[in-house]
Structure 1
């Protein structure tokens, strides 16, 4: 099909956004459009990565899970009954694979720099590793006290690295414009909870 497409024709997903764009890419990929699959991988891999890392996997293990999830999509490309539910399918599949992998002994996700930078401590470190481990323990304790919605949003927009807000909005069913302000409130709440943990 790709060979039949002339240079003047636009791909069917061009100009579409969110679920409609991903559904159009999925349908085109089913028809043999390699470029459509490339678009899905480029736009949704950060989301898959976030879910894997957010479920407690270290970097190397998360990379394996991401590859496994995309291979699973290729195997099930013709079996997804609702193309507009692709993001939900990817999230569910990644969570299941991450859970299976974690049960086999994967490590806790490392503290991202963006959160660590907010928690600077001017005290001279007697042992940098012990201090860092304690800080991370307190941060994760605070993180797990956040409402589930905040945890999910921060996993997508901080722990996952660069994830397009459009994909985050679709995955969380939130208005695109509310992602940034909500993220700011969640980070503020995390800081307050962390200060409480550190003061114990």
Structure 2
């Protein structure tokens, strides 16, 4: 339950970042309507995000959050998609200040770079994770083929996103309990 709430919280932050429609309340952290922040143009201007550019964006994000005084683990490869780099941030102090720092760092470093890196590539779920996700879905009455490679393949088996996310998070917690509480899941 804690993991699901943290995922929902992160997705809200990402949605706010990605869907900002005005500059109100952002001060000098304005998010351009309809486009990525200028601070990310170094990786986005050529419409291709390389492995090195993505890694630099994630490292810059981690450094930004650490510079604000929050503990962040070193990034690790997500077993959910085999592409995203994930990390654990330890919140402290005022929740609003924490959220503001994370959002500011995200906007300044990787909010548009990460999806542009992950989404066009073939996602492949870790071999140890796939059968646990499949078993969770089968236990809930959803047939699987055993040929699913990623969240998109599993999504084709069920139209219930909540059920799928529950099974993915259950599987991650069971197979990789040491991983961060927040893992971005893209379809």
Q: TM-score, normalised by structure 2?
A: 0.31
TM-score, scaled to structure 1? 0.30
* More helix, by proportion: 1
Greater gyration radius: 1
